[in-house]
Amino acid sequence: MKIARQPAAVMFAVALIVSTLPARSGGLQDEERASLPMPSAPTTCAELAALGDAVDLTSREIGTLKQRCDIEDVRAKFAELDRNQDGYLSQEELPGEHTLSQHFAEVDFDGDKRLSLAEVAEHDAETSPIE
């Protein structure tokens, strides 16, 4: 009878040891991860763009950076479209297929027949970015 019980005891001991191995190795992996340096938050628009959708926009600092980058982007695109550099976009300055041209009256909030940077930025924030 003793011989029959020994293999069962050995099998139980092996099973117990094997079942604890993943927990032990997982613990080491957690410790290794804890010792790795945390990636720093983006501080420039280029760094933010490189992260793409992987960035956590719930952070106040990152949200503020995203707003600043969006404003810079709108200013640059506005300047490209403002061919006469008067600080406004007229219907004539916009290509016919451009989103702003197609929705000119909706974007021209004050109805003065020209688009200011503020109007374009507000439209950009409410809808999709201008191209």
Please write the tens of the pLDDT for every residue from 16-28. 454 555 544 455 4
Q: What is the largest distance, in Å, between two alpha-carbon atoms of the chain? A: 102
- Which of the given ranges, 11-15, 32-36, 116-120, has the highest pLDDT on average? 116-120
| C-beta of residue 42 within 8 angstroms of C-beta of residue 51 | yes
How many Cα atoms are found within 13 Å in the side-chain-facing hemisphere of 24?
Answer: 6
Q: Specify the pLDDT at position 117.
A: 94
Mean pLDDT, the chain, rounded, equals: 77
Of the candidates 114, 96, 117, 95, which has an alpha carbon nearest to the alpha carbon of residue 105? 114
Between these two residues, 16 and 46, which has the higher pLDDT value? Answer: 46
Of the candidates 98, 96, 91, the residue with the CA atom closest to the CA atom of residue 114: 91
